[in-house]
Structures are given as C-alpha cells and as structure tokens.
Structure 1
Amino acid sequence: MNQNQNQNQDRTRNRTRLLALVVLSLALVGAATAPALVSAVERGSPNLDVYLEDDEVETGTEETLELQIQNDAEVVVGAGERSTIARGVSVEIEDAGPFEAKSGETALGQIQDGQVVDAPQRIAVPDSVEPGEYDVSVRVRYAYISPIFEGSSSTERQTMSDRLDVTVVVPDEPRFDVTDVSTAVEPGASGEAVLEIENTGPVPSNYTKTAVSGGNGITVDGGTPDAPTEEVLGDLEPNESTTMTVDVGIDDGVSAGDRPLEVDFFYHDDDGIERQANSVATSLATIDQSFSIDGLESTLAVGYDGVVTGAVTNDGPRTIDDAVLTVAPQSDSLFVEDTRYALPELKSGESAEFRYPTDVSGQADAGPRQLQFTVEYSGGDRTTLEDGPMSERVVVDDDHEEFAIETGEADVRQGETSEVVLEVTNDRPETFSNIDAKLYTDSPLEAPNSDAFVSELGPNESAELRFEITAAPDAAVEVHPVELDFEYDTERGETAVSDVYQHPIDVGAGEDDDSNVGSIVTVMAFLTVAGLGAGLWWRRA
C-alpha cells in the first residue's frame, strides 16, 4: 500500500515538471516570434494624391479650387493600420503658375487609408490669363509611424513632403463684365437702374441672358435672390458692350452707400446648349439726397402781417427739378395762408430763395416761434420722398406802428390857410405801396386839402406829405390835434388800413388878433397922452 502511494506521488511530480517545461518552452517561443509578429502588422506607409474635379476658372475673379486629398496607403506586410495613417497632414499651393495663391498652408489633420479629405484653396485669376490649361503645384506635408528597423518592435515618426500637380483650365468661352451701374433711386423709392455690360471674352456670346439679383433691401425687377428675373441681351461679339435697364426698389430702411448686386450670365454654345458663363459681383450706389435751410429771416410782429424768408439748398448729389418746400408753424398764433412753395430746378449745391407771407395774431405774445420745413421731391420715376422736418426759429416782435410822423414845415396862424408838410417814415421791415394819407381836423381847424399820396415806401424810407390847414380867426393860440390814417398795399398785394395817428399842430397868432389891437390901443393912448400934454404945454405957454 505504501509502495503504491509512493509510485503515485512520483508520477504527479513528473507531470508537474513536464507541464512547467511546456509553459517555459511556449514563453520562449513567444518571445522569439514577437518581433516577427510586430513587423507583420506594422510595415507599410501612406500614399497621398491630390485631385481637382471642377478644374475650370474664370478670369478676373477670385476662385476656390476644391482640392481633394486621398490616402491610398501601401501595405508591405500584414494588415495593420498604424503605419498607413497619414498624420498632421497640411496642404499649400507652392507654384500657382499664372494665378495668385490666396490661401496659406491649410491643416487637414490625419487621413486614414482609403479616406478622401477636402482641401479648398483660393486663387486669383487675372484678366490677362489666356484660355488654356495650366499646372498648379501643391505641397503636401504629413507624417506616419514605422518600425526603426526590420524586425524591431520599436517605432519612429517619419515626416514626408510631396509636391503634387493639378491642372487648372481657363475655358475658351464668353466672359462678361459690368462696367457701370447708374440710378437716381434712393432709399424708400423705386425706379430705373441702367447696367452697362461688355463681353470681355475671346469668342462671341449667342443669345445672351442675364439674371440680376439684389439683397439686403434691394429688389430687382420684382425678383428675389433665389428666383431672379431674367433679361435677354441677345448676341454680343468680343469687346462689344450693351446696356440693360432694370427696375429697382430700395427699402426705406436702407442706408445710403454701395449695395451689392449679383449678375449671372448665360449663353448658347455652338450646339445650342445653354451654358452658364461667369458671374459678376457689382454694386448699386444708393444716394443720400438731403436739403438744408439757411438765412432764415422774418418781419413778424404782434397783430400784423409779415413775411418769413430764407434759402433752401440742395445738399444731395443729384439735380432736383420738381421739389416743393412746405412750412408748418408750431404755434397757433402764426398763420401761413399758402404753406407750399414750389422750388425751381436745383442742381447739387444750388440754392433757391423762398418767401412765406405770415399773419401774427393780435393776441400773441412777442418771442420766438418754431417753424418746421419739409422738402417733397421725386425719388425715382414714381415715388415721392420727403426730407425733413427741419426745425428753424423765428422771432415775433412786439406790436408797433407802421409809420412814424414828424412835422417838417408848419406855420399855421389864426384866420389863415397854410401849407403843412409832414414827414412820414415806414417803420415796418416790408415795402408799402400806393399809400393814401388822409388828414382829419376838428374845429377850430379845417383841411381844405386833406389828401396826400406816396407811391412806395421801403423799410425806413421817408416821404413828405403836404396838406392845407385853415385856422379859425378865433382859434386859440395853442397846440391843436389833427388825425391821420393810411391806406396802403402790402408786399402780398393786400390792401390794409392803419390805425389812426394823432399829430400836434401849433397855431400861432394872426395879424389882427387881440395882441395887435392892444398894441394899437397902447400906441394911440400914448399918442393921446402925448397930444394932451402938448396941448397943455401950448396952452400954458
């Protein structure tokens, strides 16, 4: 029994030793074959190439070359991925040929085996480039992982730089340019815009059509940017120009300045197939038409008619030939009978004077008043626009008389008829005409000639009025009042009657008045006394 147990124990020990040897052998075999397995997985490298599907460009434009970078990796041993990945890929146009590269080096990241990555690059195409095919060289830089040497489990990062070429085509086809866009339309209006178009290409353009679109508040022929309205231009030979007229509408909120227009061109080739030519980005210059009020003056006074005068200036860039200036008093005490003043044609920078007859209420207070001016004018073919209101201030003066009267010459005596000369002055700041003066007297004065006439009196001008006044013999030697009033025409052609003026007339003593009688009596008394004295002396003698 003990012998059998010992034999079993020996067999177990032998099996354990054998198993340990097998495990050790397998470990040694794995260690020996590991570099070979790594090598089989990792050996390979990326293989990058560049493609350009849409290779046509237009002269006189800045184009985007939609480059595509593809990684078609080379696998030497195994089917691993680490060595086939292009890492840190960047693209840059190195030689643009007749074009000008506008993009710098562009980072693309990593590109897996079989992957295609877009790499857009901008170039400028000068007008001088002739139709043809041109090579553009692209520099592609990248890195990848590879073993340090054959059979090694260690790797290193390899960097590569490849120069690849693509072909860019300048087609032999019509090309177009918009050389001018002119319009008189401004924000808030609609009207015509004229575009001048030239075929700058080397070949004729048959059955040419355009589609013009605006945006940002600009409407062309009622179309939209997504659905522009087409216009037919017809055939255009190389270097031939033509004009086209479109209807544009500009929203009121659009500020003055250049606003973009996109013009697409289409033509028929020799086979009658419609093709799209180049597109042109141009601009529509919206104008800022404005006006200003200068030199505002007034002759306003409480209770009287006056005038408001000034000048309106065209500060905008275009000629205005149908403008109307309107005024709106901001006070109920001012009344302007005709608030609309038709302006003459005004070129840019020109001014025109205006004149508004204005009444001031007799209940008004003297002081400043505000007026608001607005200019109405045509902003296109159909739309009436306004500039304003422009606020200006005038001053209403205190109530004062139209005329001032002074005595020029007056020698009125008791019992006599004398000529009286009065000097009348126009105290108002407007010209009066057809002035009829009327003199009124009361006893003991009479006026055989009570009328006088002055054809015209400007502001601060004076004239002499001649009347005849008779003083009664028994008129008191003192100052007597006379009254005058005036009927006259204002500058507006209205007839007005002034208030009644009182003026003093000094009546002097006549030749037969009491003072003269007293003198005669005194002389006679003196002579009588002298005679009596002489008689007495004679008698005494």
Structure 2
Amino acid sequence: MKKIAHLNGAFVFIALALASIGAAWASENYIPSVSLDNYWTTSGSPQLDASLAGTNEFGRGETVTLFVDITNRGRIMGFKADKKAETKMERALADRELDYERERTTALGITGTLRSETNQVEVKSGDQVVEALRSGEKSREPLRFTIKISNRAPAGEYPLRLELVYDYQFNAEVDATDLDPDVGLRGFQTSYWYQRANETVTIPVIVKEEAYFQITEAEADLRAGEKGGLIEVTYRNTGEKVAEDAIARLSVFKPFSSTDDQAYIGTLGPGEERAVRFKIDVDSDATPKPYSINSEIKYTDHRGGTVISESMKIPVEVRPARRSYTLPAVAVLILLAGGGATLYRRRKGG
C-alpha cells in the first residue's frame, strides 16, 4: 500500500487499491510499505449501530422501502506509549501522532448489505454506501432498502440481517526532518495502517395480523350476447383477524357489464369462507375465450376502520352464443306452406 503524506494534521480519506494490498489482505490489515516512528498504541474502534426510521409493521403483499439510520458509537479506550519521546522534536511528533490516533474510531467506506433468511420477505435492492462516520455521528441520509413481503407470509416478526463492512485506521506513524521553533515540524509525514472490520445488526420487520382473502373456487356460465349470466365465487379469509360487513365487488370491463356487481358477504372470521353470486351481461361481439375479472372486498377491520383488500382475479370463460333455431324453423314452415299450396292447386285443377 502506498505511503500517504499529510500536512498540518489534515484528515485524508484513503482510497485502497486491492492490487497493492498483497499478502496483507489475508490478515485484513492494510500495511504501508514504509514504517515511520510509532509513539502510541491506541485501543478502541468504531462501533456501528442501525435503527429504522419509521414503522417496521407492514401488510402481506406490500413492497416497501426501509429507511435505516447508521450511528457510530465507537470510543477510544486508551493510549499506551510505544516509544519514549526524549527530544523536543520527538515530543512534537508524539503530540502530532496522538491527534491522528484519535481518528481510530472513524469508520471509512461503510457498505451495508441487507439479507433475508426467509422467502417470505425478499430484499429487492443492492448494497448501500456511507463514505465515513466519525464517532458520535449519524449518517446524513438513511440507507434505503426495498423489500417485498409475500402475499402468503404468516403474521409475525421476520428478522433481517444488515451486514456492515468498513475500514478504520488501525495505527498511525509519524516522522519529520527537523523542528523549527517558529514554523514547527519540517518535512512532516505520516503513514497509516488500515484494518477491515464487519458488524451485523438485526432489523426486525413485522407482518401485521389482519384479514386476508383468497378465491378458493369460481364457476361461471357466460355466453356471448347473453344477459344475466351467473358467476359464483367462493372467498376465504386466510388472515388472522375477523372481517365484518364484508362486501365483494367486481371491476368489469368490455365485453362485460353488470348492474349486479356487488354481493354481501357479512362477517367472515379467520379460516371461514363464503360463496356469493354476481350477474353479468356479455356483449354480442365478445370473443369466446378465457377472461379474468377483477374483484375486491370492502370490509371493516378489528380497529373499526374501512379497508379494501387487494385485487383478486376471477377466472371466467365466455362460450360461443347459443345456436338459434328460429330462422331454420321459419324456413321449414315457408317450405311446407309453399308445398301445401302447390298440392292444393294441383288437386283443384284436376
């Protein structure tokens, strides 16, 4: 790793090149190629914590963004003299190194990765980065992670793992060519050792208990051009809470229309199901094929609030129009009448 020079104690963010780390990578230490004087050995390191900004309770089937604040609670635990400073220049160097050693608790290049250990919660976003956090600081902007909760996720708590990887200054060394009483240290330079660290923080996500609906059965008798075709649908409450005053509603589109697109379900407890009927008109030019009609349930939840469920698709099939026998029957009657008239004239003429 290249030696980095610093003047007047300026804090410099170190860009590390993997190609120059060499064998030091195995020990997770980034060691400079040139060693200078080391007056202090410092104990302490960054300590990162994470917390959600906002609620962590969501409904099944939701895709939401988590806002995660990162805080550095690292502390310097102590300093130990590594080399005795005897001359004025050595004492000046020791004081300067002590200033740099205090940066040991700064976390650099923080990368956050959110992971789920269950297929009920899927993490949709990639890594998030914070450039640096000194001790006592909180990230200016929260990390943003998008998650999708399965439609079938049981209510309960789902712990997500936030893996935080970062670098921090493991050691600082200093040197100078001489000490000028008026200017101070001349030819001052520093070199740093950096170490890779990682921490894991648990982020709990809660899937709320609520009523939830699924279509368990659907039957339809629909033909092109017919009015009042019947659709019978069975809804089941697969959630954990009771749904009261539930009403099933259809969202119809061409080639369908209806004046009977709502059906009263009533109270539906967890695990209960109920069948309802709708009447549907089908346009005469409807193409015979399978269709899907959207439906939803409006109900009162256990808190007394009005809730509309997510949309559920009802599979239906439109069959061809019934064959009409009116025209063939009329044609037969005309033929019979014509034949009868001919026979009558023949007999009369004979």
Superposition TM-score, scaled by structure 2 size: 0.54
TM-superposed deviation, 1:119: 1.5
The answer to whether the 8 Å contact 2:213/2:235 transfers is: yes
Partner of 2:290: 257
Partner of 1:197: 235
Partner of 2:7: 34
Structure 2 Cα separation of the partners of residues 85 and 189 of structure 1: 71
Partner of 1:90: 113
Structure 2 Cα separation of the partners of residues 182 and 219 of structure 1: 18
TM-superposed deviation, 1:244: 2.9
| Percentage of pairs with the same residue | 10
1:283 alignment partner AA? I
1:181 alignment partner AA? A
Partner of 2:319: 288
Partner of 1:110: 129
TM-superposed deviation, 1:181: 2.9
Partner of 1:180: 217
Matches within 5 A, 1:193-232: 193-201=231-239, 204-214=242-252, 221=259, 231-232=263-264
Residue of 259, 276, 284 corresponding to 1:244 = 276
Structure 1 Cα separation of the partners of residues 286 and 49 of structure 2: 53
Structure 2 Cα separation of the partners of residues 284 and 324 of structure 1: 27
Partner of 1:235: 267
Matches within 5 A, 1:12-91: 34=7, 36-38=9-11, 47=48, 49=50, 51=52, 53-58=55-60, 62-64=61-63, 66-73=65-72, 86-91=109-114
Distance 1:235 1:38, change over 3 A: closer
Secondary structure in structure 1 of the residue aligned to 2:10: helix
Partner of 1:147: 169
Distance 1:490 1:210, change over 3 A: closer
1:118 alignment partner AA? R
Structure 2 Cα separation of the partners of residues 139 and 35 of structure 1: 37
1:282 alignment partner AA? K
Runs of 4+ in 1 over 6 A off after TM superposition: 39-44, 75-80
1:210 alignment partner AA? A
Distance 1:89 1:268, change over 3 A: closer
Secondary structure in structure 2 of the residue aligned to 1:324: coil
The answer to whether the 8 Å contact 1:38/1:153 transfers is: no
Q: Render the CA deviation track for 1:309-364: whole Å, top value 9, x for unaligned.
A: xxxxxxxxxxx4xx4157xxxxxxxxxxxxx1259xxxxxxxxxxx86999xxxxx
TM-superposed deviation, 1:187: 5.6
2:251 alignment partner AA? S
The answer to whether the 8 Å contact 2:252/2:258 transfers is: yes
The answer to whether the 8 Å contact 2:62/2:149 transfers is: yes
Question: What is the alpha-carbon root mean square deviation over aligned residues?
Answer: 4.8
TM-superposed deviation, 1:257: 1.3
TM-superposed deviation, 1:166: 0.5
Residue of 164, 187, 202 corresponding to 1:164 = 202
Structure 2 Cα separation of the partners of residues 140 and 111 of structure 1: 13
Partner of 1:324: 324
The answer to whether the 8 Å contact 2:114/2:162 transfers is: yes
Structure 2 Cα separation of the partners of residues 215 and 66 of structure 1: 33
The answer to whether the 8 Å contact 2:222/2:319 transfers is: no
Q: Render the CA deviation track for 1:168-193: whole Å, top value 9, x for unaligned.
A: 2441x444333233332346665343
Distance 1:236 1:91, change over 3 A: closer
Structure 1 Cα separation of the partners of residues 288 and 195 of structure 2: 58
TM-superposed deviation, 1:110: 2.3
TM-superposed deviation, 1:242: 3.1
The answer to whether the 8 Å contact 1:265/1:279 transfers is: no
Partner of 1:135: 158
Number of equivalent positions: 262
Q: Render the CA deviation track for 1:143-174: whole Å, top value 9, x for unaligned.
A: x4543523555575836352423142441x44
The answer to whether the 8 Å contact 1:208/1:236 transfers is: yes
Answer 1 or 2: higher relative contact order, Cα 8 Å, separation at least 6.
2
- Structure 2 gap segments, 5+ residues each: 16-43, 76-98, 132-138, 174-189
Partner of 1:119: 145
- Structure 1 gap segments, 5+ residues each: 1-30, 223-228, 291-319, 327-339, 344-354, 360-488, 499-541
Q: Render the CA deviation track for 1:252-302: whole Å, top value 9, x for unaligned.
A: 566621314131331253x6x224274352223132326xxxxxxxxxxxx
The answer to whether the 8 Å contact 1:39/1:153 transfers is: no
Structure 2 Cα separation of the partners of residues 156 and 148 of structure 1: 5
Secondary structure in structure 2 of the residue aligned to 1:341: helix
Residue of 331, 342, 346 corresponding to 1:495 = 342
Secondary structure in structure 1 of the residue aligned to 2:159: strand
TM-superposed deviation, 1:237: 4.5
